[in-house]
Structure 1
Amino acid sequence: MALLALKIDVDTYRGTVDGVPRLVRLLQKYGARASFLFSLGPDHTGWALRRALRPGFLKKVARTSVLEHYGIKTLLYGVLLPAPDIGKACAAQMRAVKDAGFECGIHTWDHVLWQDHVRQRDAVWTIGQMQKSVARFTQIFGAAPPTHGAAGWQMNAQAFAHLDDLGIRYASDSRCRLAENGTLVDIEAGPHRLSVAGKTLNCVQLPTTLPTLDELLGRRIDGVLVDASNVTGRILALTAALRDHVFTLHAELEGQKLAGAFEDLLKGWLSQGYELVSMAEYYKKISQLVLPTFPLSWGEIPGRAGQLVVQAESRLQTAATVPD
């Protein structure tokens, strides 16, 4: 059976308080598993307003109704309102997710700070941010984090290397390259290992293979304007041919205003024959496979501003086994 791993990025305080419990209920309703990746430090969402000068950012804001999805209060955190400490304020909500049987992992310490700066920062800053996340995660859950999914799909060489230092066996920090209509540029893209600074890392990358809802909404694709009424059909068309996938959703979107669209996706995927799983379950399936190794690579994804970590076009080797 084809697996579709659900990776849930939790970016904000509001997403943790309101979006996460709703997603838990939806997933339980359909017997779906998933991985919740939490932001564990301050919510500085308001700082994201500094991205206004970046090419494509204002266009994306206009398409996806950021104010409607995030709310004015969240957009003022760190600007006119103090930034709530998500991990301190929401520890009980996070533990409830694990108690409900879902995998929990690290998204980031400070989402906006990491997304906007990690590519240019050095090892000291990078490891410091990651260690804050690990300490807070361990404090909340009483165990080390099993997995990681980078905020905004932004990393650097030191961050990838530190995943190995932490003993994290699998993560989803990157994207597969997509065509304008959301189809995979390389139909064989998927689980792989990275070569960084001449060293092949142990941590297996499980890249996101599908576009996110906010990357599709408001765009004209194949001559059709994608909106809330047809966005699920667009995604389901991309998953019609069964193969393993990773889909990234956000507690602030699918856990709130787009909850109905996400429920339609759950029903559609089950009808197509997918088993909806966590990243841990996906990793277990591929854990004995020989995986390709790729260099660290950056690129653009249609519908999203700026460059992200993407699976490279050319592999370095094919004989890389997954560690036990």
Structure 2
Amino acid sequence: MRQLVLKVDVDTYRGTLIGVPRLVDLFRRHGADATFLFSLGPDHTGRAIKRVFRPGFLSKVSRTSVLAHYGLKTLLYGTLLPGPDIGRRCADVLRGVRDAGFETGIHCWDHIAWQDGVRGAEMAWTERQVLLAGERYAEIFKTAATVHGAAGWQMNAHALRLTQQQGFSHSSDCRGSRPFIPVWNAEVVNCPQLPTTLPTLDELIGVDGVDEGTVHESLLALTRQAPVTGHVFTLHAELEGIKLAPVLEKLLLGWRQQGYTLVSLRALRARLNPNTLPRHEVLWGTVPGRSGELLVQGPEFLVAVAD
């Protein structure tokens, strides 16, 4: 059976309030399952202005119309405007996703703080961010989260260990090609990683003549052949849940025509035996169309056996 996972990263207050309910309606109309990963603390999107000095960031902004997709108010949160507390103000929206039958999990506490700060952060800072998100999730849903998907595919050694220590059934914190058990500097972390395998729409739009009218064709061309373990596609409530919803609808129809069942991360995880998953190193790398480095699936980790 061909499976394609729909993983929804929810980064902002606007995306939660507007994009998430629209995605729930769209998925239900198309009989698609999905996993929603929530930012649970303050929306400080405006603080992303610091990324202007990152190589490739300005070109990405110009390609993907950040102002049009995120709105002016969102781009001022955390600077000229106070950042709204997403988890507190949108708790009913989050519970509505669960009540509609979709898997829910943790994206982060503060999206900008995590994405821009976790790589070099110490244990205390990392643990506080993870615990804040976990406590808010439990407050909203009255149960612990079972899945984690890192903001911006950014992690550190402490964060990876915490996916195991916090008892997550599975995580999706990196880019890669197939499910695996992560290894960081020869340390095995026993929490299966289900990496994003496909490029995101904002990585494709504006490159090689691809625009919003043709981007679905580029992505469908990449999914004609299905890997044994399926694909994981990451979308964003701020994009596919609002202005890019027509593109997403074309993708859903196209994937159905290609024979895919559209599922959640937990459905993919249910098919896996962690004891037989390959172990792969996790490394820092780059992805075409995205600025900066992010966590990627490295080579298979093979332990040499002495004669």
Q: TM-score, normalised by structure 2?
A: 0.96
Aligned to 1:293: 279
Alignment of 1:26-175 (within 5 A): 26-175=26-175
Name the counterpart of 1:253.
239
Measure how far apart 1:242 and its partner are. 2.2
The equivalent residue for 1:216 is: 204
Change (3 A) 1:241 1:289: farther
1:306 and 2:268 equivalent?
no
Q: 1:292 Cα shift? A: 1.2
1:288 Cα deviation from its structure 2 partner = 6.0
1:130-162: CA deviation from partner (whole Å, max 9, x where unpaired): 000000000000100010000000000000001
Q: Which amino acid aligns with 1:149?
A: G
Q: Indicate yes or no: 2:180 matched with 1:195.
A: no
Letter in 1 for 2:64: T
Please say which of residues 288-297 and 111-120 is displaced more in the overlay.
Answer: 288-297
Aligned to 1:278: 264
The answer to whether the Cα contact below 8 Å between 2:175 and 2:197 also exists between their aligned partners in 1 is yes
Residue 228 of structure 2 is aligned to residue 228 of structure 1: no
1:180 is matched with: none
**Counterpart secondary structure, 2:178:** coil
Aligned residue number for residue 316 of structure 1: 301
Which residue of structure 1 lines up, in the alignment, with residue 255 of structure 2? 269
CA separation in 1, counterparts of 2:226 and 2:181? 23
Report whether the alignment pairs 1:207 with 2:180. no
Which letter maps to 1:190? R
Q: TM-score, normalised by structure 1?
A: 0.91
How far does the alpha carbon of each residue in 1:38-74 deviate from its partner, in whole angstroms, 9 at most, with x for none?
Answer: 0000000000011111110000000000000000000
**Unaligned 5+ runs, structure 2:** none
Using the aligned pairs only, state the percent identity: 54
Match of 1:184? none
Contact 2:181–2:274 under 8 Å retained in 1:
no
Q: Which runs of 5+ in 1 are unaligned?
A: 177-188, 319-324
1:90-112 residue CA offsets vs partner (Å, 9 max, x unmatched): 00000000000000000000000
Number of residues of Structure 1 aligned to a counterpart in Structure 2: 302
Q: d(CA) in 2 for partners of 1:125 and 1:85?
A: 19
CA contact (8 A) 1:43 1:78 kept: yes
CA RMSD of aligned residues (A): 1.2
Distance 2:73 2:125 in 1: 29
Deviation readout 1:21-43 (Å, 9 max, x if unpaired): 00000000010000000000000
Secondary structure in 1 aligned to 2:278?
strand
Instruction: Give the C-alpha shift of residue 236 in structure 1.
Output: 0.3
- 2:13 corresponds in structure 1 to 13
Letter in structure 2 aligned against 1:121: A
Measured after TM superposition, the shift of residue 274 of structure 1 is 0.4
| Structure-1 separation of matches of 2:191 and 2:302 | 16
TM-aligned CA distance change 1:288 to 1:111, over 3 Å: closer
Query: How far apart are residue 196 of structure 1 and its match?
Result: 2.6
- Measured after TM superposition, the shift of residue 197 of structure 1 is 4.5
